[in-house]
Amino acid sequence: MNSRESRSGFFTCDPDIVTDDRFRNAGGAEIAAVLISMESSEFRRLALRMNEVNIAACFASKRDKAKTAERFASLTGRCQYRKKCRTLPRKCYFADMNSPLRRRLPECTLGDFEQNHGGPHLLHQVLSWWAGRKPNAPAIISYDRGQTIDWATLHDISSALAFDLFRRGFRKGDFLATSLPLSLEHIFLEYACFKTGVIHAPLDLRLRFPEVLRCLEMIQPRGFAYLNPEMAVAVKSHCGSVEHYWAQTDLAEMIARGPASASPGLQADFGKALTALREDDGAQAVFTTGSTGSPKAALLSHRNITCQNLCLGTAFGFRDERILLNLPPSHVGGQAEVLMTALFWGGSVVTLEVFDPFKSLDAVQKHGVTMLGQIPAMFQFEWRLPDFPGFDLSTLRKVVYGGQGVSRQFLERMARMAPLIATGLGLTETAGFCTYTPMTSSIDEVLDTIGYDMPVYAMSIRGDMREEGTAGAPLPHGEVGNICFSGPQTFLGYVNDAVSTAKTVSSDGILYTGDLGRKDARGLHFSGRAKWVIKSVGYQVFPGDIEQHVCTLQEKVASCGVVGAEHRLLSEAIVAFVEKKPAIDLTVGELRKHTRGLASYMRPLHYVILEPGQMPLNRVAKIDYVRLSEMACQEIDRLRAAGRWDR
């Protein structure tokens, strides 16, 4: 017998599993009995080591097959069936397990989430969990105020504010909007909301009055906390749903006063309200950034967020790290990804109320930050500081980026900040990260992939959603299609927008991210937004492929954004907006010569060279494709008037 095969042919796996006495010389029914009776952790360990499982060949009964197959699916999330049939398939594969890169990424299963981390599935429970275990350890370190909040204080203040909200009439399902920086008061208030069942809705401080009013009209909040008094005046004039207003100074005074007194009856009602909270209840409404349309309020549950906390912390090793948080509190990166994941794993968070490149680097050296996660634009702002070489970043061990693709030159510079780097795909609708590269010192391992999914939240590449609302069929490895996910991180839906929700989550529970990509043994490869795919001369063109190619002119190109524009001959033509680097000469002729390296149908018909800093960005510093499309239309109007288009 081959040393890597069992006698029954049940699995092909590592020798130490094969030689387990329970399986040596065992028949199918005996193997089934052992597997069904195993503890979940042991079963998962064995399952994740397997390369192939031939279920039908070894089990004595359909019942044994069904029970064991169900355990494989629930505890590993890796079952992919070779063919469809009315009974259990003959073979079941664990996708991507043969990839060396994949094997280096720790994995989280549904069993891990439900059993090993079955306690803190409610966000406020995380505070009580760690306050009971290390009450005096630092949880929040405010760089701006020079103040440290330990776990016991964070728990006690947020609990006192939660009771105050309840006393004022807030109940589960109410919305409370905030237009605040990432202040201590803001963090206390949002965790108070979580404990009361109130849905926290953080707004971007940079929103103009009409945009704020539109967001509030969407969610109809009962409370509003603000920094700008003029904003409060506007809200009072237009938003009848808001009953309670707090300036940030009001919140500080409430905290200073301490817990409010109340009758025993009210305290008893508050206790009942706490026990009525469920992990599938809404916790936070995060507005999408609007890079492909108007922002929508994505409602995230406690379960969505804590599952993401488990996966992200497992993949990138958040336990006991000291993490810098300089992302905006209105963004899922600043909330579920950094703040809540760090707290979930018992780490400490060094906060900046508003991003500042100098303060960010100073916070790293002053407070011994060990982990840093930012979007690429934030790194660029820091690297451009004249004083950057003088900052002591020696405590940094891990640096993570997300939000958009980067060049090799970018990764080389990032790798000089810390020994380990990583990235992944993150979305508001998935409560943050949903794919992960292993933490690595290799630039090549990060450059051409955005990582792998976790078994608990499985990824698939699919065809378009069907007209009746069900998900399209899964596509083979290597084929470009819609990037989709299914599992406990999928958001509850867009607030008061059932139409948009139905376009995003299929009737059979598959989340369509709106992104296109393909996957292979090296993980997920991003191709672009589905909405912005260009159909030129009969070909599907993915803007990301062109942008990546143009950006290989590293010495001259700072960024590139590609959109399609209506063309009477070609149907749709490609327009490339290229931002040049400072003090650099760049010509259209150079760009045309460089893009000869692309297939002819992928080459832009028109180029617009932008000066440094002129690339339109949205609120989280990603390229604003809506604005680029508007700019392209203006360019086309000008070209048509001169007779230089539609030829």
Domain count within the chain: 3
Same domain, 271 and 199: yes
Percentage of residues in the chain having pLDDT higher than 70: 82
- Residue 415 burial by Cβ neighbours in a 10 Å radius (0-12, 13-18, 19+): middle
Phi, psi angle pair for 538, to nearest 5°: 85, 0
Say how far apart CA 387 and CA 361 lie, in whole Å.
10
- Tell me, yes or no, whether 461 lies in a domain: no
Decide which of 218, 250, 278 is a domain's last residue.
278
| Rounded Cα–Cα distance for residues 643 and 647 (Å) | 8
Question: Does 64 share its domain with 156?
Answer: no
The answer to whether position 242 is within a domain reads: yes
CB atoms within 10 A of CB 557: 22
Domain boundary among 94, 111, 128: 94
| Residue 467: partners with Cβ closer than 8 Å, 6 or more residues away | none
Quickly state the pLDDT bin for 106 (edges 50, 70, 90).
confident
Residues 56 and 161 in one domain: no
> Which residue is associated with the tokens 């490869």?
525
- For 493, the token pair is 């839906």
Provide the pLDDT confidence category of residue 113 given band limits of 50, 70 and 90.
confident
Same domain for 257 and 159? yes
Q: What is the CATH number of the domain that holds 260?
A: 3.40.50.980
Number of separate helices (H) and strands (E) present in the chain: 23, 29
Q: What three-state secondary structure class fits 521?
A: coil
User: Is 567 a member of any domain?
Assistant: yes
How would residue 207 be classed by pLDDT, with cut points 50, 70 and 90? confident
Instruction: Examine residue 521 and state whether it is found in any structural domain, yes or no.
Output: no
Residue 99's pLDDT is 66
Same domain? For 167 and 272 the reply is yes
Segments forming the whole domain that contains residue 606:
533-641
Sequence-separated contacts (24+) of 413-419 with Cβ below 8 Å = 413/379, 413/383, 414/379, 415/441, 415/443, 417/372, 417/393, 418/372, 418/393
For residue 50, is pLDDT > 90?
no
> Whose CA is closest to 124, among 154, 95, 102?
154
Dig out the tokens for 173 from the structure.
Answer: 């399902």
Q: Are 564 and 574 in contact (CB under 8 A)?
A: yes
Q: In the listed set 245, 261, 278, which residue is the last one of a domain according to the structure?
A: 278
Within 170-282, residue ranges assigned H as helices are 184-196, 209-219, 229-238, 248-257, 264-275
pTM: predicted TM-score of the whole model, two decimal places: 0.75
- 171 and 269 belong to one structural domain: yes
Query: Are residues 156 and 273 part of one domain?
Result: yes
Kindly report, residue by residue over 19-49, the tens digit of the pLDDT. Answer: 445 544 544 455 555 555 555 445 544 444 3
Please state, in angstroms and rounded to a whole number, the distance separating the CA atoms of residues 410 and 376.
Answer: 8
Same domain? For 170 and 268 the reply is yes
635, part of any domain? yes
535 vs 321, more confident: 321
Q: What is the pLDDT of residues 379-392, one digit of tens each?
A: 988 998 999 999 99
CA neighbor of 198 nearest in space, from 218, 228, 178, 184: 178
* 264 in the same domain as 178: yes
| 35 belongs to a structural domain | yes
Query: Per the domain annotation, does 544 fall within a domain?
Result: yes
**Domain holding 564: CATH number?**
3.30.300.30
Does residue 603 fall inside a structural domain?
yes
Do 161 and 271 lie in a common domain? yes
